[in-house]
Amino acid sequence: MFKTHGSALSTRSYTDSAKVSRCRRYARIDSRVNPTNPDPESPGRAAEIGRDRDLLGLAWWVRERDILTPMRVRRRHRFLAVVFAILILSAGAATMPWAFHIGGRWTPVLTWWGSGRLVTKSGMEYPMFVMLYPSAHFSRLWLDGRHPTGGVQGHACLCTSPGVSQYLKLSGTIYDGWRTTESSVMTLRLLERTIVDVGQQRAGYFDLLGRWQGSELVLEERANWSRPFRSGLRIDHGAVTLRWNPYWSCKSACAGVANHPANRTD
C-alpha cells in the first residue's frame, strides 16, 4: 500500500490519505467484480485503469504538497520576521534617532559597548564594562533645565578582583539627545542583579551622571546615592570615562585583573 511519509501531517493531509484509501478499496472491489476481464480496451478494464491513474496522481499530489508546504511556511516566517524588524527600526528612527548614532558612531543595531576604569573616592579602581541600548522606560522629570528625550537599559560588569566580577543591571535616561548623543546628558543606575526579585532593599546599586563628549561617556557620582552590594562592596563617589569597546567578555576581561578583594568597603 502507498504510504505518505512525514513527521507531522495536517488535518487536511489525513483527509487526503483517507481519499487514497477509499480509491484503492474501490479499485480492489472492481477487480473482484471483473476477474476475467484482461482486455484493457473493455469498458470495465478501462475504468479500472483510469481509477488507478487518478489514484496515483492523487497520491503524488499529496506527497508533493506535504513536502512543499513546510518550505512555504518557512519562507513566510522569514518574510514576516524581516517585515517586523523593518517596522521596529522605523519606529526607533522616528522616536529615538539618537539610537542610531550613539557615541559619535553609526550604531545600526541600536547598541553601544564600552569600557573604562571606575575610580572611587578612596582611589580604588575597578575595570568596568557596559552594554546599553534604547528603552521605552525613562524619567519624565527635567534635569537642570534639560528635558528627557529617551531611556537606556542594558548590562554592566564590574571587575572586583582577579576572576571575580559583579554583574549589574543598567537603566537610565538621556537628556537633550535627539539626532545624536553628542553633548547630551545621561543618568545611569547600576543595580545588583538577583536571581530572585526580592526588591531593591537588599540589592546594592550606585548612580552615575555624565555627558557624552564625542566618543566618550564621562560619568561621575553626583550625589552619594548608593547602597552596598551583598558582598560588602560599596561604590562611594565613583567616576569613570567609558570608551568604545565592542570586544569584551566579562569573564575573560576580569580573569587577569589585579584588584582589591571584593569584600572590602571603600
Q: Using one digit for the tens of pLDDT, what is the confidence trace for 4-16?
A: 444 444 444 545 5
Going from N- to C-terminal start, the domains of the chain cover 11-95, 102-255
DSSP 27-85: HHHHHHHSTT---TTSHHHHHHHHHHHHHHHHHHHHHHHHHHHHHHHHHHHHHHHHHHH
Check residue 57 and give its pLDDT.
60
Q: How many residues does the chain have?
A: 266
Please check whether residue 221 is in contact with residue 207, taking contact to mean a CB–CB distance below 8 angstroms.
yes
Q: Using one digit for the tens of pLDDT, what is the confidence trace for 161-210?
A: 888 889 999 999 999 988 889 999 999 999 998 776 655 457 899 999 99
Distance (Å, whole) CA 238 – CA 225: 11
Distance (Å, whole) CA 8 – CA 1: 20
The one-letter code for the residue type at 144 is D
What pTM value is reported for the model? 0.63
Check residue 186 and give its pLDDT.
95
Q: Which residues contact 41 (CB under 8 A, 6 or more apart)?
A: none
Q: Using one digit for the tens of pLDDT, what is the confidence trace for 49-74?
A: 556 556 556 555 555 566 556 656 56
Mean pLDDT for the stretch of residues 229-252: 88
Distance (Å, whole) CA 85 – CA 88: 5
- Distances from the Cα of 162 to the Cα of 65, 121, 166, 259, angstroms: 60, 21, 12, 6
SS3 content of the chain, % helix, strand, coil (to 5): 35, 30, 40
Mean pLDDT score across all residues of the chain = 75
Counting DSSP H helices and E strands in the chain, the numbers are 3, 9
